[in-house]
């Protein structure tokens, strides 16, 4: 039995952040019922190019494995009735909509408590359900700029730069999944559900972590660093071998610098008064990095990576995406999974990294076709007979898909 097999989540979700939150819950065994608005053809993620066919895309397949789909129009009374019947059978409602929309669609705890007093209502939005920006649409790129991330990323003197992937979205998804599990735990203990107000903005600001603490308490000015160097630990940055391949060398502990000095054939550097401590090396970083640059440039990146790893120094190459996916450690950790698909063929995609228990117990199903599980949910879970389903459909509960 997988860890979350006793949890059912009704997910009013779309695009990336919300589906990525429920993706991990589904991977751990939760039953995730994906409610898709038939007025707009369901989750917009179904239509993201490239590699998009009909109502499916490889983007959608990435975030929606192991879920069930039901087309449901929450704006009509009959659709609302079906939704509330689902809520009565669920542990949580997860939505990722603009911060003011949960109130408009009545997705908050105060709106659903009479239906299910233990329901946990998780709203994952751009800016949260309160504050001056609550009614603004929020996307990862916007948040990386607003929260200061882009001012810290890239080379000094260069333009503001975002991370290569949507880290605000995906980090917020983990926060949302964590909040949902905490909420369900408390609801089962106390007999009362709650709201969980999660936002991209909150997550992005919280991830400023120690640079924010340094700034708030000592006026330290965060800034971009050359070759992605750590702001205070030296050396901890990119270096280049004689073959022009980049690699990272990190010294987050004093012992690692001594090992670096020995590996490059300059053990006396570790005892030099300018380089004895973290603070000393930071103060004289320009001179030290110049010495190391010259030494590392004499051999290939792979040579240094091998020698440094043998010495127990944190190091690794800068790989492209294909190299990372093909790395033996990726295979050993079973980080690529495969699901069958009638349009795209076998779909290979990253696994959830949340491994709990025996990974061999995990199973993977392709993302659902829109409304694929209508009969199972309506008749099996909610107990509607055919006449009731037909009546709901005639009154627009399921849109065109009904």
Tell me phi and psi for residue 259, to 5 degrees: -65, -35
Q: Which residue has the tokens 């380089």?
A: 275
Rounded distance, CA 182 to CA 4, Å?
A: 13
Q: Which two tokens stand for residue 170?
A: 């995906």
Q: Tell me whether residue 230 is one of the annotated catalytic residues.
A: yes
Catalytic residue (one of 24, 185, 230, 327): 230
DSSP bridge partners of 351: none
Tell me phi and psi for residue 189, to 5 degrees: -75, -45
HSE, CB side, 13 Å, CA atoms: give it for residue 12: 29
Closest Cα to residue 201, out of 150, 143, 259, 281?
A: 143
How do beta strands 194-199 and 120-125 pair?
parallel
Which residues are catalytically annotated? 230
């Amino acid at each position: 039995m997988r860890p979350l097999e006793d949890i059912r989540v009704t997910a009013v979700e779309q695009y990336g952040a919300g589906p990525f939150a429920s993706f991990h819950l589904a991977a751990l065994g939760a039953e995730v019922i994906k409610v898709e608005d038939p007025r707009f053809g369901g989750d917009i993620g179904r239509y993201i190019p490239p590699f998009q066919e009909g109502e499916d895309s490889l983007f959608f397949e990435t975030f929606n494995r192991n879920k069930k789909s039901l087309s449901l129009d929450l704006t009509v009374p009959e659709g609302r009735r079906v939704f509330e019947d689902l809520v009565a059978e669920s542990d949580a409602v997860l939505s990722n909509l603009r911060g003011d929309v949960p109130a408009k669609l009545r997705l908050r705890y105060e709106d659903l408590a009479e239906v299910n007093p233990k329901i946990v209502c998780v709203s994952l939005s751009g800016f949260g359900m309160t504050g001056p920006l609550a009614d603004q649409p929020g996307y990862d790129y916007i948040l990386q700029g607003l929260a200061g991330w882009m001012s810290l990323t890239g080379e000094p003197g260069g333009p503001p730069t975002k991370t290569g992937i949507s880290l605000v979205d995906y980090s917020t998804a983990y926060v949302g999944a964590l909040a949902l599990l905490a909420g369900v735990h408390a609801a089962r203990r106390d007999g009362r559900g709650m709201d969980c107000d999660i936002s991209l903005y909150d997550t992005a600001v919280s991830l400023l972590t120690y640079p924010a603490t340094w700034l708030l308490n000592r006026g330290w000015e965060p800034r971009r660093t050359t070759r992605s160097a750590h702001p205070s630990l030296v050396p901890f940055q990119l270096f280049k071998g004689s073959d022009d391949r980049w690699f990272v060398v990190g010294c987050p502990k004093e012992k690692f610098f001594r090992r670096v000095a020995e590996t490059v054939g300059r053990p006396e550097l570790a005892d030099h008064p300018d380089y004895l401590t973290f603070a000393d090396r930071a103060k004289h970083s320009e001179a030290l990095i110049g010495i190391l640059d010259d030494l590392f440039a004499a051999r290939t990146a792979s040579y240094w990576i091998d020698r440094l790893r043998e010495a127990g120094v944190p190091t690794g190459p800068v790989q492209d995406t294909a190299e990372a996916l093909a790395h033996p450690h990726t295979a050993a950790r079973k980080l690529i999974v495969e699901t069958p698909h009638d349009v795209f063929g076998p779909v290979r995609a990253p696994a959830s990294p949340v491994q709990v228990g025996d990974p061999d117990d995990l199973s993977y199903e392709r993302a659902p076709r829109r409304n694929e599980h209508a009969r199972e949910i309506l008749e099996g879970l909610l107990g509607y007979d055919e006449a009731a389903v037909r009546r709901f459909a005639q009154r627009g509960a399921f849109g065109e898909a009904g």
